[in-house]
Amino acid sequence: MSTAMRRFVTALLLGVAVYLGVAAYTGFHTIGQSLATFHWITFFAAVALASLNYVFRFMRWDYYLGLLGIRGVSKRDSALVFLSGFVLTITPGKVGEVFKSAVLNVTHGVPIAKTAPVVLVERLSDLIGVVVLILLGSVGFASGLHWAVAGAVVVSVAIVSIVWEHPSRLLIDWVDTHPKLGRFGPKLREALESLRLLTGFSAFVWPLVLSILAWACEGTALWIILLGFGAHAPFLLSVFFYETASLAGALIPVPGGLGIVEGMLREQLVHLGGVPVGAATASMILVRFATLWWAVAVGFASLALLRTQYPKLRGHEPG
């Protein structure tokens, strides 16, 4: 069994354990009653919204490749490379998505050091986008501001650590003169140069807009699923619930945020949104299938398509 498949099976088993545990705690009969009246068209609408999230994020990825001057990669290949990174969506903080840089290196010879910073900047713009949505969702919801402030602090630290050039220059100088690490100096310099280019203010605005649109889609997916249960939670409040849970899942080093996202979503829906416990639990499970697990499935399908076109990829497994 490949590394990626083992990782997937492990995460899937963990997910099943989480969902069964929550379902048992809520009561299978209670959840069953809620599902009996559920309008399944809303679930497919949620999957469509999650897929629109991928479209916006691909536009961001393609924009970054253009900024770095990477040419000769067709839109189809670029999209498949981008989506193949979803195989590792279940890694803590999604850092495993750097796999797509390795894929681009194998398929088109683009140096990993040049594109790996894209993954870091994507995570940064995702964080800021989520915090913006939390701020919007917290309008008229005082306790929501605590999450917005916490997220803003994390984002600020991340931005300062990237944009402040002096520490990075000192790091490169130290690596260049180190007897054992000196050989990594040129690649580190190339990576940091790419990072500087991608984090300039003018270069960061459009990706941030795309990030906000992307994650608003998944927040809307939760709201749509709630409507399917007849739970008319306010739209902004639903987005707030989804984004705060996603932020917590991203910051806590658990594969795919499993257990963290689910627990927060359910508790917020029940105690803050006034959603019946059966509908809240079922909504949580369904929105995770429409977002997290659908993304992993899309990633495996995209990687399989790439491997038919580029046989060299068959010897490269996601780490």
Taken in order 313, 291, 64, 56, is the CA torsion positive or negative?
A: positive
CB of 132 closer than 8 Å to CB of 212: yes
Least confident of 98-112, 131-145, 175-189, 288-302: 175-189
Model pLDDT for residues 244-281, shown as the tens digit of each residue: 999 888 878 777 788 899 999 999 999 988 999 999 99
Nearest-10 crossing angle of helices 294-309, 41-67: 50
**Res 66 pLDDT > 70:** yes
92 by Cβ neighbours in 10 Å (0-12 / 13-18 / 19+) ranks as middle
Q: How far apart are the first and last CA of the chain?
A: 13
Model-level pTM?
0.83
Q: What is the pLDDT of residue 48?
A: 98
Q: What is the pLDDT of residue 179?
A: 65
Q: What is the pLDDT of residue 102?
A: 86
Q: Which range marks the domain in which residue 233 is found?
A: 3-315
- Our count of domains for the chain comes to 1
The stretch 99-107 carries a mean pLDDT of 87
Question: How large a percentage of the chain has pLDDT more than 70?
Answer: 74
